Structure 1
């Protein structure tokens, strides 16, 4: 899948944007994904990971 974190599965969320005049339109919230070289089963591969997983140390980065 395109916009999904490879670790926690965080993805696109949909909702409704409400303007000052109360006009309601659909909108999406995109996760903050970074393309990172990480160790997956001992081999370095490129995966998309959200910044929360990177910051909390759930990802072992490849050097």
Structure 2
């Protein structure tokens, strides 16, 4: 599954792991993407959305 929210376009971001000795290695943060049934333009579709969009009510889940 693609790590991309279809609602807000949130995608993986990158940065560094920083150890106690201040050594740096690259790492990624992936968004929490869920595949849910949602009502989009009046019809039920499966969409990949992040949990932040689900929780904030940006989409309406279908039952």
| Separation of aligned partners in 2, 1:2 and 1:40 | 19
Backbone CA RMSD of aligned residues: 1.3
Q: Structure 1 stretches of 5 or more lacking a match?
A: none
The number of residue pairs the alignment matches comes to 63
TM-score normalised over the length of structure 1: 0.91
1:10 paired residue number: 10
1:58 paired residue number: 58
1:1-41 per-residue CA deviation (whole Å, 9 max, x = no partner) reads 81110100111000011101111100000001111001112
Query: Residue 7 of structure 1: SS of its match in structure 2?
Result: coil
1:42-57 map, 5 Å: 42-57=42-57
Q: Structure 2 stretches of 5 or more lacking a match?
A: none
1:23 paired residue number: 23
